[in-house]
Amino acid sequence: MLYMHDLWVNWFEGEENGYNVCRFHEWRKEDGIELIDQIPLLFVSDELFHFIENDLQDLPPALLQDIHRKTYMKKNQERQTVEYAAVVTNGKDVVVFDTIGYTLPVKKSRLIPRQERLVFEMVQGKIPEPYYMDKNIIKEHHILSLDPRKMAGLTRRERQLKQLLMMALDQLKNSDHPEEVRYWLTEWDPGQYRSIKQFSVQEAWERLYKGTCSGWSTVHEELCKKMVKGQPFFETIWQGENERVSQHMNSRN
C-alpha cells in the first residue's frame, strides 16, 4: 500500500460531477482547507477513477476494506482516524475522497500541483489495482446535473451561476404559470417573439433549456439575474457569487 503525507485538501461535499471539484487555481480564500497527515494512494483503472470522480454511488467493497481506518487528519494538533478516505489516480488525473463513514465518496478534493506531480511519480511503472465494479451502473445527466461538455471551459463562478440558472429553469418547468415560460423565452431570444406566441408551453420550455444549457455569456447572466429576482434562496447564491467578483476587483485596485 502506498501512502502520502501532509496533503492540503479543499473538500467539496455531495458533488457527483468532477467539474464541481475545483482545481487548485480555483480555490478561494474562504474555502476550508484541511491538512491530511497520512492517506492511502490507490492506482486504479480509468473506469473506476471516472466513477469515483463523477458519481456518488457505493464504492467497491474490496477498495473500502483496503483503506479502512488508514487515513489520519490533523486537527488542533491531534491525530484523528478517518474511516474511509484515499487519493486515487489513473496515472493521468488525481482526486481525493472521504466517505465520512458511508460507502460512497461524499467529499472530494483536488491536490495542489506539487502533490499531484508526486502522485504520478509514485505510481509510475505500477499496475492499477483490479477492483471489481458493477457494470450495470450508468451515470445519467439531467438539468440539475449537466453533462461535463456543457460545463467545459467555464470558470468556477460561471459554473455556479449556470447551475443556478438550471435550478430556476427546473422550477419554471414545474410552476403553475405556463405563460411565464413564453415570457422568459422571449427574454432569452426576443427576435423570435412572433414565433414564440405559437409555441406550446412544453415546446417553449424545451427551446429555452436547449438554448441556455450550452456555454455561458452575458445573455445567460442577464437571464439568470432576472429569473432569480424575488426568490430569497436563489438570490443568496447570486449575490454570493457577485460579491466575490466585487471583492476581487477591489483587491486589485
For residue 130, what pLDDT is reported?
A: 93
For residue 177, what pLDDT is reported?
A: 83
Residue 252 — pLDDT band, cuts 50, 70, 90? low
For residue 194, what pLDDT is reported?
A: 87
Is pLDDT larger for residue 170 or for residue 246? 170
- The full 3-state SS of the chain, as one line of letters, equals CEEEEEEEEECEECCCCHHHCCCHHHCCCCCCEEEEEEEEEEECCHHHHHHHHCCCCCCCHHHHHHHCCCEEEEECCEEEEECCEEEEECCCCEEEEECCCCCCCCEEECCCHHHHHHHHHHHCCCCCCCCCCCCCCCCCCECCECCHHHHCCCCHHHHHHHHHHHHHHHHHHCCCCHHHHHHHHHHHCHHHHHHHCCCCHHHHHHHHHHHHCCCCCHHHHHHHHHHHCCCHHHHHHHHHHHHHHHHHHHHHC
For residue 153, what pLDDT is reported?
A: 95
Checking if the pLDDT of 208 tops 90, the result is yes
Least confident of 92-101, 105-114, 177-186: 177-186
pTM above 0.85, yes or no: yes
Across residues 26-40, what is the average pLDDT? Answer: 95
For residue 251, what pLDDT is reported?
A: 52
When the pLDDT of each residue in the chain is averaged and rounded to a whole number, the result is 93
For residue 236, what pLDDT is reported?
A: 94
Least confident of 87-96, 169-178, 221-230: 169-178
